[in-house]
Amino acid sequence: MASKFADMLIDLLLKKGVKEIEPKLDYDYGVSYYESLGISRDDFPNLNDILIELERKGILKGTKVGTIPTCPNCGSHKLILRLLCPICDSPNIRRVEAIHHISCNFTAPSDMFSSGEILRCPNCGKPLRAIGVDYNKYQNVIYCENCKRVSISPKLIFICSDCGESMSEGELDLKPLLRYEVIEERLLKPSLERAISEGLERRGVEVKHPSEAIGASGLTQRFSLSVKGGDSERFIDIVESSEGVGEEKVLALFGKLFDISAKGGVLVAIPRATQEAKTLAKSLNIEI
Ligand SMILES: [Zn+2]
Ligand SMILES: [Zn+2]
Ligand SMILES: [Zn+2]
């Protein structure tokens, strides 16, 4: 049974003629589809769950367009990045320009080489001559205040702000980020089923939606809906096919009706039934 919010969303997709639902990365919720749909969290508190429900029903088709890194321990996407010295793991680092003195193989921040007008190596005491000859310069490298060593890049550590776990980049879970495509012909059916059953109910007809009955075969036969009038019950199937609903749907309904010994039934075809289906239905006492 569709949830109330799923029904509301189906109506909204139909009304707005939505074709695609785009994801947006969101600090609070990880991924948000509210912006794409132009709706608010108050109207649809669990939108992500509703979208998953509609995808399961084939009304939406999800395509992976990216990933959201999440905590492998609790699933949270609220990760705080920390940069550490890759040699001693100290967080006490800074970004510097560094000089590598080739002759004595010493590397340190450039400001430690300054000595008046000239550059002098603080390790061996020799003056530096020319870049590329006896020394090299590196931009944006990491200097550790703790172990006094220079590294090309820091070690990345992620701390989960929900459970406190810390992890390396390689330990993060990568959740798929989905864009949803609306399958229009699938969208029509549930809203039509609802509209028909609500319309009938308003006229005081007793409607079951969905409806099922146990047949002579012992199988449970399922129908989109059924209406009760007096002591007889009429079974209605709603089927959709972009090429036109064909004879096989008429036969399927007939088979089910026969099994439960119903007098006749109604097939609602979206957007229409083929001529062959109509002819067959007539001979089987099925209304289209
Ligand atoms: Zn966590
Ligand atoms: Zn030196
Ligand atoms: Zn260090």
For the CA of 122, the nearest ligand: 2
Please check the confidence at residue 176 and state whether its pLDDT lies above 80: yes
Could you read off the pLDDT of 29-45 as tens digits, one per residue? 889 999 999 999 998 98
On the question of a cis peptide bond just before residue 210, with omega within 30 degrees of 0, the verdict is yes
Residues 205-214 have a mean pLDDT of 83
Distance from residue 182's CA to the centre of ligand 2 (Å)? 66
pLDDT exceeds cutoff 50 at 1: no
The reported pLDDT for the residue numbered 147 is 97
Nearest ligand, measured from the Cα of 158: 1
Ligand 2 mean position, distance from CA 114 (Å): 13
Q: How far, in Å, is the centroid of ligand 3 from the Cα of 85?
A: 5
pLDDT of residue 265: 86
pLDDT at 2 over 60: no
pLDDT of residue 28: 86
Cα 54 to its chain centre, rounded Å, is 11
CATH topology of domain 186-287: Trna Endonuclease; Chain: A, domain 1 (3.40.1350)
pLDDT band at 130 (very low <50, low <70, confident <90, very high): very high
Q: Are strands 60-70 and 79-84 parallel, antiparallel or unpaired?
A: unpaired
Å from CA of 223 to ligand 3 middle:
70
Task: Read off the pLDDT of residues 19-28 as tens digits, 9 standing for 90 and up.
Answer: 999 999 988 8
Which ligand lies nearest the alpha carbon of 126? Answer: 2
Alpha carbon of 38 to ligand 1 centroid (Å): 30
User: Is 50 exceeded by the pLDDT of residue 15?
Assistant: yes
Distance 109 CA to ligand 3 centre (A): 14
149 alpha carbon to ligand 3 midpoint, in Å? 6
| Ligand 1 geometric centre to CA of 69 (Å) | 11
Question: How many angstroms is it from 117 CA to the middle of ligand 2?
Answer: 17
- Where along the chain do its domains lie? 4-75+176-182, 86-153, 186-287
Q: What is the pLDDT of residues 238-282, one digit of tens each?
A: 887 778 888 888 899 999 988 988 877 888 888 788 999 999 888
Whole-number Å distance, alpha carbon 89 to ligand 3 midpoint, is: 6
Average the pLDDT over each of 172-181, 186-195, 219-228 and give the range with the smallest value: 186-195
**How sure is the predictor about 185, in pLDDT bands with cuts at 50, 70 and 90?**
confident
Please list all protein residues whose beta carbon sits less than 5 angstroms from ligand 1, which is an ion.
71, 73-74, 76, 160, 162-163, 165
pLDDT at 94 over 50: yes
If you measure from the C-alpha of residue 68 to the centroid of ligand 1, how many angstroms do you get, rounded to a whole number?
Answer: 14
**Higher per-residue pLDDT: 117 or 81:** 81
Q: Which residues of 256-277 are buried (b: 16+ CB within 10 A; e: fewer)?
A: bbebbebeebbbbbbeebbeeb
Give the tens place of pLDDT for each residue, 142-156: 999 999 999 999 999
User: Distance, CA 92 to ligand 1 centroid (Å)?
Assistant: 24
Report the chain's mean pLDDT, rounded to a whole number.
90
Q: Mean pLDDT throughout 165-172?
A: 96
